[in-house]
A and B are shown apart, each in its own frame.
Chain A
Amino acid sequence: MDPTQSQQLAYIAGQAADARVNVELETDEGMVLNLGPQHPATHGTLRIVAKLDGELVIKAEPIMGYMHRGYEKLTEVRTYPQITALINRIDWLGNFANEVPFILAAERLMDVEAPPRAQHIRTILFELSRISNIALFLGDMAVQLGAVTPVFFAFRDREHVLNQIEAVTGGRFHPNFDRIGGLKDDLPAGWIEETHAVMVKMRKFCDEIEDLVLGNEIFQARTRGIGVIPADVGLEYGLSGANIRASGVDWDLRRDNPVGLAWDKVDWKVWTHPDGDSFSRYWVRLQETREATNIVDQLLDTMPAGPIMAKVPRIIKVPAGEAYVATENPLGEMGYYLVSQGELTPFRVKIRSASFSNMSIAPWVLQGTYVPDVVTILASLYFILGDIDR
């Protein structure tokens, strides 16, 4: 069989497999609605097959894999320094934050400690990527509910933060800046003052969004009491980040799981909301963005002097062992279970991404909702496709 013929057969097989999902959901009653793969509410190529009875969703099934890139397999043939370039692309909006837990896991196995200044700058960049990520969510959720203005504010003000990240790392979205043992470079001159100014702008942005969105009657009517997730169910599904804090669980890995970054050196607050609905998820994220600007401000003022790189060998071989390091990324708990056997490359990397678990609750929470609310709930759970599919 020549390659083209086998390619055609593979394509037909794939089509047939997709069709089977529809058949599975189709019964004698109800109709099937495909949301996606390309739908504005899905941030990429997520497809949701919903079985409807009138406007009521009886069963909803997300179909993933349109963006599966096999990072867990690819890490097995990359050296440790090369891997950060890959894992940048898992959650592409939370760029720098993706690299940190992996680097920390490798550092833990190597028994290397980044110097205090490097830890400080890491934490600042981590929080900056949180601000730029969540700022987009704040506008994006509003636009999915029909309010167009906030998303323009979000794109406008997020750019200030991305400029600051770019000034340090050279990349807006894929910094590839974290190194085992420290950082690639120090901060450029004048960066601290500029970042202070940007933080003032971002706090103003949060106030604007609060005025525009939170008090809006239509927004409240469409989000209050929609997609309620009780804390117990959320924990069972591994929900993390703002999604679980919006269900009243006071749990933040930045505070509860110190992994050697500078969060314990500043004064900040973990925001929770008791309701567990779409509105509270939005509200918690808004408060977190404002809190993150305070964290950055305090860290900038207490920057220690010193080197930014610890002593590490030129060729990095990580001693045999296993380590799981998770941090509180913009989307929730992101962790890497790293198995090393003392080689240049990891033996196995299990990527525990936040959106995967956050979305796994979708069939549970979408059941029994109405079609317009599907968009609200998906938007408020806030997922990045690359973070689900990895």
Chain B
Amino acid sequence: MSPLSSADTEGVTADTAREAAVAEFAEALGDACLETHVFPGVDCWIRVATDGWLQAAQVARHELNYRYLDFVSVIDWMPSPYGREMDTQQDRDPNAVADVEPMQHGVTGGDTRMQAIGRVHSLITNIGVNIKCDIPDDTLTLDSWISVFGGVNWHEREAYEMFGVAFTGHPGLRHLYLPGDFEGNPMRKDFPLLARRVKPWPGIVDVEPMPDTGNNAGGES
């Protein structure tokens, strides 16, 4: 059974339960709800405006009975300047300049580099909803959900130290994992993974070039 064709969703192209869940959010949030996406039988997403982030949590918990908090995190959509695959030019030569790729946002689109994602779950309908929200590039600040979900405390602290996104209204926004004086935000795409800079990926060394692939491949060995 793949998730796309499990017993109760066999051949389903329209997912009425999730469509309804998303529609409820869209109605309650009004203009703050920018975009919705339903993957039939599997999952659903909504994207809210930056101002509507806190309102989305309030609507979810108090009006629509999404009482379970899964997680809150941030996605950095900037393509990594160090290359994504293990055998890119950037990994072979640390000084090489990366091609600048355009940002490719996920399912509900987006306009900013940083995007927050929170997931809430309803135990009544058994549907989880992913709530996404653009974080303004200039301020990198978002309202905290802590007045709605107390458990968001550590999630927001982790997002703060890893991505440098601040949450207004959070009572103790300080590092969770990292030492207090650590500088930088490790999960940002432009934060280099130093292990790879110090020693290149050993997999590259193991690959022997085929005799006919390069001009100098045969002569060197």
**Chain A interface (Cβ < 8 Å from any Cβ of B):** 13-14, 16-18, 20-21, 64-65, 68, 70, 72-74, 76-79, 104, 107-108, 111-113, 119, 232-233, 235-239, 249, 251, 256-260, 264, 320-326, 333, 335, 337, 339, 341, 343-345, 347-348, 350, 352, 356-357, 360-361, 364, 389
In the complex the two chains form, what is the Cα distance from A307 to B103 in whole Å? Answer: 41
A348–B76 CB distance below 8 A: yes
Residue in chain A with minimal CB distance to B2:
A113
In the complex the two chains form, what is the Cα distance from A321 to B6 in whole Å? Answer: 20
Among A104, A235, A239, A345, residue most surrounded by chain B Cβ atoms (within 10 Å): A235
In the complex the two chains form, what is the Cα distance from A115 to B8 in whole Å? Answer: 18
Query: Which of B75-108 touch A at CB < 8 Å?
Result: 75-76, 80, 84-86, 104, 106-107
Q: A260-B2, A323-B43, A344-B86 are in contact. Are A14 and B181 (CB under 8 A)?
A: yes
Q: Tell me if B17 is interfacial: C-beta within 8 Å of chain A.
A: no
Which stretch from B19-27, B135-143, B146-154, B211-219 is at the chain A interface? B146-154
**B56 smallest CB distance to A (angstroms):** 16
Q: Which of A113, A235, A264, A364 contacts B67 (CB 8 A)?
A: A235
CB-based closest 3 A-B pairs = A17-B180, A237-B151, A65-B177
Please count the residue pairs between chain A and chain B whose beta carbons lie under 8 angstroms apart in the complex: 150
Residue in chain A with minimal CB distance to B73:
A350
What residues of chain A lie closer than 8 Å to B126, measured between beta carbons?
Answer: 256-257
What residues of chain B lie closer than 8 Å to A323, measured between beta carbons?
Answer: 42-43
Count chain B residues whose beta carbon lies closer than 8 angstroms to a beta carbon of A.
52
Query: Which of B102-135 touch A at CB < 8 Å?
Result: 104, 106-107, 117, 119, 123, 126, 128, 130
Q: Tell me if B193 is interfacial: C-beta within 8 Å of chain A.
A: yes
A352–B75 CB distance below 8 A: no
Besides A76-B193, A235-B69, 16 more A-B contacts (Cβ < 8 Å) are A16-B181, A17-B181, A70-B186, A72-B187, A77-B86, A108-B42, A237-B150, A238-B149, A238-B151, A256-B126, A257-B126, A323-B42, A324-B70, A357-B71, A360-B151, A360-B154
**Chain B interface (Cβ < 8 Å from any Cβ of A):** 1-8, 42-43, 45, 61, 67-71, 73, 75-76, 80, 84-86, 104, 106-107, 117, 119, 123, 126, 128, 130, 149-151, 153-155, 162, 175-181, 186-187, 193, 196, 201
A324–B128 CB distance below 8 A: yes
What residues of chain B lie closer than 8 Å to A78, measured between beta carbons?
Answer: 86
Q: Is the interface of A mostly helix, strand, loop or mixed?
A: mixed
Q: Which of A14, A17, A238, A251 contacts B70 (CB 8 A)?
A: A238
In the complex the two chains form, what is the Cα distance from A64 to B157 in whole Å? Answer: 12
**B173 smallest CB distance to A (angstroms):** 14
A73–B71 CB distance below 8 A: no
Q: A324-B130, A343-B85 are in contact. Are A236 and B151 (CB under 8 A)?
A: yes
